[in-house]
A and B are shown apart, each in its own frame.
Chain A
């Protein structure tokens, strides 16, 4: 009796989670693949007979869609500028906080982490106000020092940069915490030895901290990059991809096609192209990392 309940018990513990993950994570990815080869739209939702298998048609059309090409270009722009900025800021701040001897420096951890935990919609609403061309605080401050106003959200290129500023502000905290945790893991004896050899602070950072953080830097750059490749909420709330598709990201493109225009097959194909792009970029990162190691 006891034996059989022992055998069943583990399945009862993991069962609910496995069922939910299968239903809402694993099955959907297979389903998405199937849908991406069909012309499924709103009518297909009611009547399955109207769904036609169209092979790679969606993939071809998405790849030729000027607005998808534009959205991929924008996404790339966000990744290329955003990822290094997040890395640079979160790493420098982590190192600075760690240099502080007094306990007061712990307050800085909270201050810099705060934007990361707060609601992205609320934050986007607040920044829209700060960026407002006539009423916004930013242009007002620029005016005080006699600088001309910046078209924060109304020029396609500036709007991209404005979104990057906001997302970097939000992205610093979590990564900084990861770096602080990693810095704490570096043995203190390394620094003591370096100090005996007369190494100054900068040399200690350059020759001990940074090499020891190699793995943390790699981890943060991968996760940050994946995050930026899926950049969605900020442009969705603040710009809706405007002006002139200047802030249209790949995720926004997929969302619009799927849930605004109900072109499920088309959107699914777009999502797989984004997925492959993410996998490709991640693999390249791993390749580069391995090369640097050897």
Chain B
């Protein structure tokens, strides 16, 4: 056997070996993936079953009597409409917070001023403080301001965040100085420069942050739970935990509530996942 055929032989072997290996990896991941989505599939299917069918043994997989009643109950006899409105208000407010974060990131990235280093470290330091330590004093501060049991009190503490400011600063540091100078020479004020030049350039990072902000706002739970005593101010998460507590045995209803919370996020995530995942790759860790 000459060298050439030996090499070909080896290549063919490794190619078929490679193929088996690839399918082995694919099977392994598929099994794992099915386990990951199983709870969601079970949740969605159960949400369309009647209460009687959910308690049936052996359980059915596909709903025998497909019904939307559970979702109707959430909105008719429970206050899920109010919870939804509150949650959307929080999401909107957090977008305003996102704007403040972008402003702060720009301030740190493109200006030299007294106390810049110190203030930036101060911002970063807030990342290390665990929520458990601050939640009692924040409650007391809001109480002092007369903001407990108000939407303002729910929204204000989480409005800005150090991590987002940090990411904006990183991104905006790369904006060329000449571009900003040119706009300033054209007579634009600092704020107009920010709105018309800086923000449009920052679309990639804004997009990622907007998705994460939406997910965060939509999922907000602990703080609304603490600060709101009035059911009129509950978010979807708080309403859902209340629903679980009060309707311990109504699983179809609970699954409908969960589906209503999870499905929108799933759709948004699947549509935009590329940006989120790329963000991690860009900001990467070394």
Q: CB within 8 Å of B: which residues of A?
A: 5-7, 9-14, 16-18, 20-29, 31-32, 35, 45, 93, 96-97, 99-102, 104-105, 108-115, 117-123, 125-130, 132, 134-135, 137, 140, 169, 172, 177-178, 180-182, 184-185, 201, 215-216, 219, 226, 230, 232-233, 236-237, 250-251, 254-255, 258-259, 264, 267-268, 271-272, 274-275, 278
Contacts and interface: CB of A to CB of B under 8 A. Distances in A.
Given A113-B273, A185-B284, A216-B285, 19 more contacts: A13-B111, A14-B107, A16-B104, A17-B123, A24-B138, A27-B141, A32-B133, A97-B29, A114-B40, A119-B219, A121-B219, A126-B255, A129-B42, A129-B43, A215-B285, A237-B244, A255-B132, A264-B136, A274-B130
Contact of B134 (A25, A121, A122): A25
B50 interface: no
Interface of B: 21-22, 25-26, 28-29, 32-33, 35-37, 39-40, 42-43, 46, 54-55, 57-59, 100-101, 103-104, 106-108, 111-113, 116, 119, 122-123, 125-126, 129-141, 143, 156-157, 159-160, 162, 165, 189-191, 194, 215, 218-219, 221-222, 226, 236-238, 240-241, 243-244, 251, 254-255, 257-259, 261-262, 265-266, 269-270, 273, 277, 280-281, 284-286
A101 B273 CA distance: 20
Given A45-B143, A122-B240, A28 B59 contact: no
Contact of A28 (B100, B138, B162): B138
A117 B39 contact: no
Contacts of A233: 221-222
Contacts of B162: 21, 25
A32 B134 contact: yes
Q: In terms of DSSP, what is the predominant structure of the interface of chain A? A: helix
Nearest to A135: B55
A120 B221 contact: yes
